[in-house]
Amino acid sequence: MSDVKTLKFKNIFRGLERAYGQMLPSLERNNKGKVKVKRIWTETPNNPKKNFVPFTDEVWTSHLKGEIGLGVVPVTDEGKCKWGCIDIDPEHYIEQKIDHVRLVKEFYKMKLPFIVCSSKSEGAHLLIFTKEFVPAATMILKLQGIKAALGLPKKTEVFPKQDKLFSLKDDGSWLNLPYFKGSERKAFKLDGSRATLDEFFDLYDARALSKEDFNLLSPDQVSTFSPKKLNKLKNQDFLESSKCLELITMKGKVKENRNLFCKALTTYLKLRYPEEKVWQQKLTEYVDKYVDTSKDKVEFNEEIANMMESYSKKDYDYQCDDPPICDHCEPVVCAARKYGKKLLTDLESIIVSCRILQGDDPSFFITLNLPIGMRCVEFKSEDLETQTAFSNRVLKMCFYKLAPFDKSVYTIVLNNRLERARKEKIAPELTQVGRFKELMGIFFARSASSEITRLRSNQIYKPEDNLNLRIFKIETVKHWLQAKAFKYTETELNELLDSYGIKKYGTDGRIRVGGHQERVWYYEIPKEKIENVKQIENKPKKITDLNLDGEI
């Protein structure tokens, strides 16, 4: 693999550089049959993890050679990106098998600059590229709009998943890259064949967008209608309608989930034309115009007649959780329309969505729709306890003062967003428990003495009759944790020791050393780890191996 190809591939998929995903062919699979991916940290001075692996050109080359699969986070610490992806997962897809070539041909007709690649799970990655870095928030909004216009399943993911990374704990979500040698993760050409790496570069050169072209990218391109007819639909037939109706009909006559579409259509027409005879006449016209009844027109018209009778007796709201509505849903846009789905309160339109970064002290990244624009703000649990604390945090971060709102409404809306929030776990080694386990693993890998008197000099004692056992004073552990800048309370330390399997020695926690009693604790190293410990202990010692206690 030439350096030129590696550098070009790297430039195309540039993103976050302080962390990345790594997939080894030998790694185990999860319960869905997907290969688990290992989290790798690159060398960043402020990062608390010490086992750094630099994100070098060799890593990119290894990916292209098929040695190590690479996953890259599209968003940088500055909240920028130069590529995005709509990730179509087969388990969320309506059809039995995703037709990649059909997607390529449809995007070509729509003049959408997607490059379609197959994914590890035989799904599809719809990749879009920009020649320069653009705001990740804009990329996300545009891809979500196109996803809704395409009518892809609601669970279909969009990358970047984050428009901003708020701290070094937040390392974002990565996407496994194409062109892992020997795999089928390659781009499709218009003729249906797979593109070589060089041909992929040609596709990129032809479709990467300038900032100006990127700003013009719109969900309106997802249509089988001419621009003139599309504008007519928007301005006349679906004037101020819910966004989903507009998106669904952009693609032609509705063939699937016709009843649910017609229910939403009836709700809209009743709002726009309150007089019963008018909305019923309009419904008949719209069904004939926008619903495919070529195979069962008589029978389906009877169903519509029954629906009219039901809707004449009662008003129904949009059923936003059912297909095809849910797959084309853009609630904030819809709520702003005269005949769209109204939000229950003004606060519902303000708190758009939430992402939770789980850990010892969870972070809540809430997207806010404010008059000054969309903002994503990091909240801690104490910021969400009351509506006053919430408003104060918004004022501090956005310099915008929210109008007072009812306490009960705040609780209802917040709980709704938290229930629907995307939950992500930070790297285990960055949690209090994970960091403790990592440090204790290093602690017990140190040389242990077979002389019991060494306990007094803050060393670990290893009885000759039980090579798995490690006995030590708790002050030795505390000294070790302090040297590693690990902070804790006495209650937390007690819980951490218990979770690791560290116990007080004997019945009273004491052992005789010379003529004195010493309070000691013990830990029994699992048998499968004892060989690793032996290798470390028997390794030739160097002066650079000296730890902070001055021991080897």
Q: Do the beta carbons of residue 511 and residue 520 sit within 8 Å?
A: yes
pLDDT of residue 354: 85
Asked whether the whole model's pTM tops 0.85, one would answer: no
Instruction: For residue 188, give its domain range.
Output: 3-221
Question: Are residues 205 and 91 located together in one domain of the fold?
Answer: yes
For residue 382, is pLDDT > 90?
yes
pLDDT of residue 331: 67
Q: What are phi and psi of 144, to 5 degrees?
A: -65, -40
The total of structural domains in the chain comes to 4
338 assigned to some structural domain = no
Q: What count of residues does the chain have? A: 552
Question: Are residues 17 and 64 located together in one domain of the fold?
Answer: yes
What residue type is 163 in one-letter code?
D
Span of 40-44, 162-166, 458-462 with lowest mean pLDDT: 40-44
Question: Which residues sit opposite 19 in a β-bridge?
Answer: 41
Question: Are residues 259 and 350 located together in one domain of the fold?
Answer: no
Span of 55-64, 223-232, 325-334 with lowest mean pLDDT: 223-232
Q: Residue 531's pLDDT band (boundaries 50, 70, 90)?
A: low
pLDDT of residue 75: 92
Span of 265-279, 307-321, 463-477 with lowest mean pLDDT: 307-321
pLDDT of residue 226: 58
d(CA 156, CA 86): 7
- DSSP 8-state symbol, 188: B
Q: Do the beta carbons of residue 479 and residue 486 sit within 8 Å?
A: no
For residue 46, is pLDDT > 80?
no
Task: Output the CA–CA distances (angstroms, integers) from residue 262 to 123, 249, 290, in the order listed.
Answer: 31, 12, 10
Averaged pLDDT for residues 444-448: 83
Percent of the chain exceeding pLDDT 90 equals: 20
Percent of the chain exceeding pLDDT 70 equals: 80
Q: Do the beta carbons of residue 375 and residue 354 sit within 8 Å?
A: no
337 assigned to some structural domain = no
Domain end call among 221, 236, 260:
221
Q: Do the beta carbons of residue 62 and residue 93 sit within 8 Å?
A: no
d(CA 123, CA 185): 10
d(CA 79, CA 374): 14
pLDDT of residue 223: 67
For residue 96, is pLDDT > 70?
no
C-alpha R_g of the chain = 30
245 assigned to some structural domain = yes
Averaged pLDDT for residues 251-259: 83
For residue 347, is pLDDT > 70?
yes
For residue 505, is pLDDT > 90?
no
Question: Are residues 237 and 186 located together in one domain of the fold?
Answer: no
pLDDT of residue 428: 64
Interhelix angle 432-444/474-483, rounded to 10 degrees, is 110
What residue type is 136 in one-letter code?
A
pLDDT of residue 289: 87
Q: Residue 542's pLDDT band (boundaries 50, 70, 90)?
A: very low
d(CA 502, CA 486): 18
* Average pLDDT along the chain: 80
For residue 276, is pLDDT > 60?
yes
Averaged pLDDT for residues 223-240: 64
Domain end call among 221, 252, 276:
221
Domain end call among 199, 221, 243:
221
550 assigned to some structural domain = no
Q: Residue 234's pLDDT band (boundaries 50, 70, 90)?
A: low
Question: Are residues 80 and 204 located together in one domain of the fold?
Answer: yes
Question: Are residues 21 and 140 located together in one domain of the fold?
Answer: yes
Interhelix angle 258-272/276-290, rounded to 10 degrees, is 140
pLDDT of residue 545: 33
For residue 92, is pLDDT > 90?
no
Q: Tell the residue number behind the tokens 């037709």, with chain if given.
A: 99
Cβ contacts of residue 427 below 8 Å, gap of 6+? 39, 41, 49, 171, 434
d(CA 194, CA 179): 11
More confident residue, 220 or 207: 207
Averaged pLDDT for residues 429-457: 83
359 assigned to some structural domain = yes
d(CA 78, CA 135): 9
Q: Residue 50's pLDDT band (boundaries 50, 70, 90)?
A: very low
Averaged pLDDT for residues 33-43: 53
Task: Output the CA–CA distances (angstroms, integers) from residue 375 to 107, 141, 342, 370, in the order listed.
Answer: 31, 12, 21, 7
379 assigned to some structural domain = yes
Question: Are residues 321 and 250 located together in one domain of the fold?
Answer: yes
For residue 74, is pLDDT > 90?
yes
Question: Are residues 535 and 441 located together in one domain of the fold?
Answer: yes
Range ranked top by mean pLDDT from 219-223, 235-239, 253-257, 379-383: 379-383
436 assigned to some structural domain = yes
Cβ contacts of residue 34 below 8 Å, gap of 6+? 120, 121
Averaged pLDDT for residues 67-85: 90
More confident residue, 348 or 516: 516
Question: Are residues 297 and 386 located together in one domain of the fold?
Answer: no
Alpha helices in 13-117, H assignment, sequence order: 57-65, 100-110
Q: Residue 539's pLDDT band (boundaries 50, 70, 90)?
A: very low
Q: Residue 218's pLDDT band (boundaries 50, 70, 90)?
A: confident
Question: Are residues 389 and 241 located together in one domain of the fold?
Answer: no
Alpha helices in 94-164, H assignment, sequence order: 100-110, 136-150
Strands 521-524 and 469-472: antiparallel
Both tokens of 285, joined, read 């016209």
Count of CB atoms situated within 10 Å of the CB of 316: 13
Beta strands in 123-198 (DSSP E): 124-135, 157-159, 175-176
Element (H, E) at 524: strand 521-524
Interhelix angle 297-313/276-290, rounded to 10 degrees, is 150
294 assigned to some structural domain = yes
For residue 141, is pLDDT > 60?
yes
Plot region of 485 (φ>0 → left; ψ -120 to 50 → alpha; else → beta): left
More confident residue, 41 or 176: 176
Question: Are residues 413 and 441 located together in one domain of the fold?
Answer: no
Range ranked top by mean pLDDT from 50-64, 111-125, 345-359: 111-125
pLDDT of residue 548: 28
For residue 271, is pLDDT > 60?
yes
Q: Residue 485's pLDDT band (boundaries 50, 70, 90)?
A: confident
Q: Residue 332's pLDDT band (boundaries 50, 70, 90)?
A: low
Question: Are residues 347 and 461 located together in one domain of the fold?
Answer: no
Q: Do the beta carbons of residue 499 and residue 491 sit within 8 Å?
A: no
